[in-house]
């Protein structure tokens, strides 16, 4: 029983790390630009397929590094051409715009890479289990978590210590004042959007090794990311991280007792959080209420 619980908790933690990676990207964009990016799952798919296409040329490691940057570049362009036009308008329009974009991306992926799933390969040394006792922790899963931790740590350091990072954090609180201080918020928002998409692309590359490639692979990850943000509290990246890990572990543990409810548990958590603490666990009072 202990083994089973441990297995599922670890599993949940790994999935949770993944939700967190997605959710932090979404959260970055939401905090600074007030846009819910419905196409985030779409960008994840782009990242995954790009790494698939790049692997024959660059190898596993090369694709792992290049694909997220390419995805971010696409995100940057999309922000410049489309998303930028709905800033400051009713949130309805940004939701619809990214909703339509998600359609186009899904169909485009299907057009370019085909509707059927693609097999993916990961280096042999990563696919072996670590030990017989912990058979469920393959090297790849540990590696995934390590990359996620690294990415999030780098992001937090950047936000804390670099000039751009401080501006992003200030913009989360009061974008108007930041603009009034003479900072170019157009560029800031573009870069911020691209960083968010970079994280989605990275999540896509990592997910493809675990889940395989499919044009709809982003769908299942989008909703948990929303919930991670709501549970953690809008406006707080740490909260989003915590929310992601929490719902991942909760889903993992629920799978032990009541497998068919493992998807539903995160909604229960969300409902409870909204009842008890409407702004989310670490949310700032007054942010986007």
Task: By CB under 8 A, name the binding residues for other proteins.
Answer: 30, 34, 36, 38, 82, 85-86, 89-97, 99-104, 106-108, 111, 223, 226-227, 229-230, 234, 260-261, 263-264, 267, 270-271, 274-275, 278, 288-289
- Element holding 244 (H helix, E strand): helix 237-257
Nearer to other proteins, 104 or 154 (CB): 104
Q: How far apart are CA 197 and CA 181, in angstroms?
A: 27
CA-atom Rg of the chain in angstroms: 19
Listed in sequence order, the residues at least 6 apart from 87 whose beta carbon sits closer than 8 Å to its beta carbon are 33, 34, 35, 94, 189
Least Å from the CB of residue 173 to other proteins? 16
Residue among 242, 200, 192, 262 nearest 69 (CA): 200
Nearer to other proteins, 61 or 103 (CB): 103
Nearer to other proteins, 133 or 289 (CB): 289
Least Å from the CB of residue 258 to other proteins? 11
Token reading at 234: 């809008």
Nearer to other proteins, 69 or 263 (CB): 263
DSSP class of 201: H
Find tokens 């006792």 and name the residue.
Answer: 133
Nearer to other proteins, 3 or 107 (CB): 107
Query: Which residues lie across from 118 on neighbouring strands?
Result: 213
Least Å from the CB of residue 158 to other proteins? 25
- Give helix then strand counts, H and E, for the chain: 10, 0
- How far the first Cα of the chain sits from its last, in Å, is 43
Nearer to other proteins, 63 or 269 (CB): 269
């Amino acid at each position: 029983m202990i083994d089973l619980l441990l297995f599922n908790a670890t599993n949940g933690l790994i999935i949770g790390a993944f939700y967190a990676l997605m959710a932090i990207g979404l959260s970055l964009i939401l905090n600074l630009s007030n846009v819910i990016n419905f196409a985030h799952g779409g960008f994840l798919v782009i990242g995954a397929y790009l790494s698939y296409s790049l692997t024959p040329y660059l190898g596993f490691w090369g694709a792992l590094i290049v694909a997220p940057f390419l995805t971010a570049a696409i995100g940057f362009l999309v922000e410049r051409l489309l998303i930028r036009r709905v800033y400051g308008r009713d949130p309805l329009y940004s939701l619809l715009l990214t909703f339509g974009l998600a359609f186009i991306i899904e169909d485009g992926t299907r057009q370019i890479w085909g509707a059927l799933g693609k097999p993916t390969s990961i280096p042999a040394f990563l696919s072996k289990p670590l030990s017989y006792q912990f058979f469920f922790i393959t090297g790849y899963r540990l590696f995934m978590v390590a990359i996620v931790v690294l990415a999030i740590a780098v992001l937090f350091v950047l936000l804390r210590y670099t000039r751009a990072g401080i501006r992003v954090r200030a913009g989360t609180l009061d974008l108007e004042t930041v603009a009034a201080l003479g900072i170019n918020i157009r560029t800031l928002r573009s870069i911020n959007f691209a960083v968010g998409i970079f994280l989605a692309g990275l999540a896509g590359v990592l997910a493809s090794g675990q889940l395989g490639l499919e044009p709809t692979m982003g769908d299942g990850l989008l909703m948990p990311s929303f919930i991670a943000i709501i549970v953690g509290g809008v406006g707080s990246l740490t909260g989003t991280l915590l929310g992601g890990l929490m719902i991942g572990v909760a889903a993992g543990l629920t799978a032990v007792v009541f497998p068919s409810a493992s998807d539903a548990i995160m909604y229960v958590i969300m409902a409870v959080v909204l009842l008890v603490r409407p702004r989310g666990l670490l949310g700032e009072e007054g942010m986007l209420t």
